[in-house]
Structure 1
């Protein structure tokens, strides 16, 4: 059931690349920074989404002030990231957070079901 280290890194890299593409295509005034496996998205109003990998737990973490921190496990069978507490899909949560934090509608459907 557990992902191998290599598979985990491949999945996180692919997910972060898709996220960068989605944000780039949104035509919003964003500051995107990717460094050492951490993707930071800063909206024009100063709110941020920070994506990082937690290698030891094989989780993708999302920090979204003031909403909080969220941990996602990869469901290999369904090919998607699922929040370990709420079972919300990553794309669903990102749509909700982008709307609540920055007041924008962004389509993240391509993230769920990699």
Structure 2
């Protein structure tokens, strides 16, 4: 993947997260505050816990940090997959956001 391809894919991912937060906030009582600064998004939940998603341009990866740990994702041509084989990004984000919010939340691209 070229640097330009990575930048496009990573931006699409961050935009999808923001759109999901907007949709979730309208449809549920989750009240997630989404804060974006360049290539970094911080999701802040009502209980004060956070999930941070950021671009790692030199590695062509997306990193996610949540209560459950830190994860690295690389685009495989179809989806952002965990570099250690633990699954797809939006599945992990849905799992961790649900755990941290206490609600069943569904993120998708």
Say whether the fold is shared (TM-score over 0.5): yes
TM (norm. structure 2) is 0.90
Q: Counterparts of 1:88 and 1:15 in 2: how far apart (Å)?
A: 16
* 2:72 paired with 1:71: yes
Aligned residue for 1:35?
37
Which consecutive residues of structure 2, in runs of 5 or more, have no partner in the other structure? none
- Displacement of 1:92: 1.1
* Map of 1:15 onto structure 2: 13
Uncovered stretches (5+) of structure 1, i.e. residues with no partner: none
TM-score (ref. length: structure 1)? 0.86
Greater relative contact order: 1 or 2 (C-alpha under 8 angstroms, separation 6 or more)? Answer: 2
Give the 4+ runs in structure 1 shifted more than 4 A.
none
> Per the alignment, in what secondary structure is the counterpart of residue 86 of structure 1?
coil
Distance 1:101 1:29 in 2: 12
**RMSD between aligned residues:** 1.1
How many angstroms does 1:67 deviate by?
A: 1.0
How many residues are aligned here? 105
